[in-house]
Structure 1
């Protein structure tokens, strides 16, 4: 009889223990899907890394930052902005958790934007935005790394045009147009021989540069002279750089990547906003 009662007492305990084990497994959050972007270093900050979008099994989303080049006892704020990095969009969609420089990592869990607008994983992958990491959690105006995301992500389609020296000795370089998923383009200038400071206006003009009298149809962001370290020699050199989003002409007409590679036009780069001395030039598109 005593043995029988011992069995009755033990059986419920076994059942209870088994149920708790099942609940623990159910409560585990797993990744159902994810997408990773590579963060680009801004202004030789020395900071790069990755950002990963995660669809979680508990109906939440996560944005995971993993930074390289961070410093102990320093912190970095991060934001998901609307628009793209070249347009320097300032409207914050999601404020990310601060990155601790000791680990270089942070994970932000959310189900909606900062204004409480719900967002799904699929909507996040098509978002018109970019991720930007700032220098620290106090000075929010100095970007150190960023990447265009969602519909602004760059594809593998690109075309590069040479820009020839004109009225400034040794000023030449290239401009590369990269197609975005949404069909727009990112124009990236890289010039050598430009002054170490100052800004150089650049334009697409209609026609062929041999005529050099075409009307201005598109205005780029100014090319800025900066000092960088040459990857081969290790010496400082001056370079002119800029990035511009290309989506429409100055008159508002749509002007996408497919239009860039077919346009009857050429590019002029001028010395400054007050001096129209031509420093570099090159045919693009059908020319």
Structure 2
């Protein structure tokens, strides 16, 4: 897949470079940058495990950015709307910049950006620092179905991560992990992955004070674990009381994670594990 994506990206970049030359000939006041800055973000599969790819941001000039989406696995004849949204993918957020739809036959789309949907100027530098994510949707009539997705700008992951085990508790057979991944802005993406959760279940999850053996109050609330998939993804930026709380804070925190049976049965813990200083 990487080989085919790289060939398409080279072709897309060549188109952008040719546009730069043409723009430079037309407007001497908007001189092109000889070696445009480029940033590639991964777009992970969501609703369809066969669809994934990249979004390549290229600085064309001081006011203009090209965004090229390249996906594999899209259906022939499909038309897939794409947008830049506010906030992280785990949080979700409104559409801020509408992109050209991805052609299902080729798996590609290219959009030239100079402003957001409200008419505010947007530069390459703005996008590199933006608190946002990019979604590719199934169709115009099914925007709630996301086929590929990726965090961009300050929400990009640095590659640093810490995984903690979640052992089975009151319900035999349910166990897994919670993975914290550092973002460039210092926040964290938390992914809970469990095996053995019942189909259709909704399992609240929290960070609690103290070790699991001691027990303690709730300080952070994750998005609930989906029993069908066994998954939950949350953005960790602050505790429930508003206290700043990012990736580095997780690593030194005196706490533990509980996953509960249901919103009505928080006293029944199905999986549990120490984090931070209690897991060292």
TM-score, normalization: structure 2?
0.85
Equivalent residues of 1:34, 1:53 under 8 A apart: yes
Return structure 1 stretches of 4+ with deviation > 6 angstroms. Answer: 28-31
2:114 to 111, 115, 118: 111
Counterpart of 1:286? 277
Paired residue for 2:242?
A: 252
Mapped partners of 1:135, 1:192: distance in 2? 28
| Equivalence for 2:265 | 275
Q: Which has the larger radius of gyration?
A: 1
| Alpha-carbon distance in 2 for matches of 1:135, 1:146 | 12
Q: Report the Cα distance in structure 1 between the residues aligned to 2:234 and 2:36, rounded to whole angstroms.
A: 35
What is the distance in 2 between the residues matched to 1:284 and 1:190? 15
How far the C-alpha of 1:35 sits from its partner, in A, is 0.7
Alignment-derived partner of residue 230 in structure 1: none
Distance across 2 between alignment mates of 1:105 and 1:54: 15
Tell me, in whole angstroms, the C-alpha distance in 1 between the residues paired with 2:240 and 2:37: 40
How many pairs were matched up? Answer: 251
SS at structure 1 position matched to 2:37: strand
- The residue number in structure 2 matching 1:183 is 186
1:106 counterpart SS class = strand
Q: For residue 45 of structure 1, report the CA deviation from its aligned partner.
A: 4.1
Unaligned runs of 5+ in 1: 1-22, 227-238
The TM-score normalised by the length of structure 1 is 0.83
> 1:20 aligns to what?
none
User: What is the rounded CA distance, in whole Å, between the counterparts of 1:26 and 1:155 in structure 2?
Assistant: 35
Per-residue CA deviations over 1:132-169 (Å, capped at 9, x if unaligned) read: 00011221111111000000000111100000011111
Partners of 1:31 and 1:54 within 8 A in 2: no
CA contact (8 A) 1:31 1:56 kept: no
Q: Of residues 82, 87, 91 in structure 1, which corresponds to 2:91?
A: 87
For 1:41, the equivalent position in structure 2 comes to: 45
In the TM superposition, residue 59 of structure 1 has moved relative to its aligned partner by 4.5
Deviation, 1:170, is 0.9
**RMSD (Å), alpha carbons:** 1.8
Residue 83 of structure 1: how far off its partner (Å):
0.7
- What secondary structure, in the 3-state scheme, does the structure 2 residue paired with 1:258 have? helix
The whole-number CA distance in structure 2 between the counterparts of 1:223 and 1:170 is 16
State the partner residue of 2:13.
none
**In the TM superposition, what is the alpha-carbon distance from 1:24 to its structure 2 partner?**
6.5
Which of the numbers 212, 222, 225 marks the counterpart of 1:223?
225
